Amino acid sequence: MARPTPPRETVEAVAALVLGWFGTRLLLLVQALDPGRYSGAILGDVLLYAARVERMFQGEVPYRDVAIEYPPGSVPFTVLPGILGGTGAGYRVSFALTMLAVDALGLYLAVRLRRTVDPGRWRIPVAYLVGVFLVGPLLLVRFDIVPAVCVLAAAVFAVERRAQASAAALGFGAAAKLFPAVLLPLLVVGLAPLTGWGRALRRTVPGFLVAFCLPVLPALLLSFDGTISSVVLYHARRGVQVESLWANGIALAHVLAGLPAQAVYEFGALHLASSLSPLAKALSSPATLAAAAAAALLVWRRTRLDGPLDGRDWLLAFTLGVLAFMLPSKVLSPQYLLWLMPLAAALVPWEATWPAFWAALAAGPLTQLVFPFHYDRLLLLQPQGVWLLTARNALLVLVAVVVVRALWRGGAPAAAGAAGEQEPVVLDAGGAR
């Protein structure tokens, strides 16, 4: 039996979306590969990836001989470009193309999400296209789009009620960069009203652990001490990174009240040293845990008052989880905006969350102004750099406030034909009841 022919407007919309993706990503590719057209300051990490991969090709073992501050799930995405293009001049090209492939998967997921939570409209994929573009060429010289797309996939699977697949996507994302692990409790809490706590845990935790352990266990077996030291202890020992909310407060105290402070380079990054920095560093971890717990409680309250999460509320919950990790952390690097943009794009269809989308959208260009174009001013704690950072961070806080308010209110009607109107049954990774 022949498949039905898609409506002409659908074909035209897909063609326009694909052309828009190619055009915007080509511009980013030119900026990423030609420092003269943008800034060579963005290339530090990708050059470091190439140097590490070269050492691996010479026989050194990751985490045992080569210190890597990212979890083991990141290694395949840095090694693959080396296999494809070598570790010399071709590495940047092959790495950028690898990230473009992941980004294309993200666009596909945005289209798929649109079918369930915003049927008949193309706002979500267009917003994904624009939002990720506005973060700039960091998309192609960092691997943060990998865990971001994993989180978007987890949201899509949660909306489609494929609990095990959603948990596995979070597990693989956490193996590449830890923040998706914060979303696992939100997934469990969101499922519990339909399945009970025990069944919700059985449908999520095993899948998460399997996907997480697949890349992590080999690294631990090769060098347990090296893996723990490179990933866990490295981040525990880091100071307050200059773009974090904590450092932003210290920088404002410096500008407004003359608090002595200066940027220092340590642990491969730039941190802000001052009399308040040790306290800020000590508070950041408990504050992050408290924010993650508060996000889980808010999702639990939403399910208690209004019943199971629908498609819209899954997106709100996951967005809040990402922000709960980002904002209280002692590190808020510019590429972290890539974690937020795919989910922020999914907030477009609802009037209550439009301010969050526009705030996230504006945060992209502001982040580019901070890094790389005014980074020297920020490091010198000059007012222009500090106020630009303050504006960017204020927008991120606004996104969190809007999302919290939308989840607190709850009970908003889902779009006609959305997943929220389907039979309330949680499906497993294979779609079986």
- d(C-alpha 31, C-alpha 288), whole Å: 34
Contacts 24+ apart (CB under 8 A), 62-69: 62/219, 62/222, 63/219, 63/222, 63/223, 63/226, 63/227, 63/230, 63/231, 64/222, 64/223, 64/226, 65/226, 67/226, 67/229, 67/230, 67/234, 68/230, 68/231, 69/230, 69/231, 69/234, 69/235, 69/268
Q: Reply yes or no on whether the pLDDT at 416 is more than 80.
A: no
Domain boundaries, the chain: 12-411
What pLDDT is stored for residue 8 in this prediction?
Answer: 63
Q: Reply yes or no on whether the pLDDT at 376 is more than 80.
A: yes
What pLDDT is stored for residue 425 in this prediction?
Answer: 38
A 10 A CB-CB count for 23 gives 11
Question: Do 160 and 314 contact (CB within 8 A), yes or no?
Answer: no
Q: Reply yes or no on whether the pLDDT at 245 is more than 90.
A: yes
- d(C-alpha 421, C-alpha 100), whole Å: 34
Question: Angle at Cα 64 formed by Cα 60 and Cα 68, nearest 5°?
Answer: 90
- d(C-alpha 356, C-alpha 374), whole Å: 25
Q: Which residue has the higher pLDDT, 11 or 320?
A: 320
- pLDDT, one tens digit per residue, over 97-145 is 999 999 999 999 999 999 999 998 999 999 999 999 999 999 999 999 9
A 10 A CB-CB count for 263 gives 18
Question: Do 338 and 106 contact (CB within 8 A), yes or no?
Answer: no
- d(C-alpha 309, C-alpha 269), whole Å: 40
Confidence category of residue 398, pLDDT binned at 50, 70, 90: very high
Q: Among 163-167, 174-178, 313-317, 413-417, which stretch is predicted with the lowest mean pLDDT?
A: 413-417
Q: Among 190-204, 217-231, 274-288, 414-428, which stretch is predicted with the lowest mean pLDDT?
A: 414-428
- d(C-alpha 421, C-alpha 397), whole Å: 31
Question: Do 413 and 148 contact (CB within 8 A), yes or no?
Answer: no
Q: Reply yes or no on whether the pLDDT at 411 is more than 50.
A: no
What pLDDT is stored for residue 267 in this prediction?
Answer: 80
- Could you check whether the bond before residue 372 is cis, i.e. omega within 30 degrees of 0? yes
Coil, strand, or helix at residue 161? coil
* Torsion of the alpha carbons at 196, 202, 203 and 204, rounded to the nearest 10: 110
Question: What integer is the mean pLDDT of 369-388?
Answer: 97
Question: What integer is the mean pLDDT of 325-339?
Answer: 97
What pLDDT is stored for residue 5 in this prediction?
Answer: 56
- d(C-alpha 392, C-alpha 245), whole Å: 10
Confidence category of residue 417, pLDDT binned at 50, 70, 90: very low
- pLDDT, one tens digit per residue, over 78-102 is 999 999 999 998 999 999 999 999 9
Mean pLDDT value across the chain = 91
Which residues contact residue 91 at a Cβ distance below 8 angstroms, ignoring those fewer than 6 apart? 46, 49, 50, 53, 81, 82, 85
Q: Reply yes or no on whether the pLDDT at 299 is more than 60.
A: yes
- d(C-alpha 380, C-alpha 262), whole Å: 7
What pLDDT is stored for residue 351 in this prediction?
Answer: 87
Q: Reply yes or no on whether the pLDDT at 236 is more than 70.
A: yes
Confidence category of residue 6, pLDDT binned at 50, 70, 90: low
Length of the chain: 433
Residue with tokens 């309330």: 424
What pLDDT is stored for residue 2 in this prediction?
Answer: 53
Q: Are strands 261-266 and 269-274 parallel, antiparallel or unpaired?
A: antiparallel
Question: What integer is the mean pLDDT of 330-353?
Answer: 93
What pLDDT is stored for residue 419 in this prediction?
Answer: 38
Helices 277-306, 183-195: axis angle to 10 degrees equals 20
Q: Reply yes or no on whether the pLDDT at 431 is more than 60.
A: no
Question: What integer is the mean pLDDT of 200-210?
Answer: 96
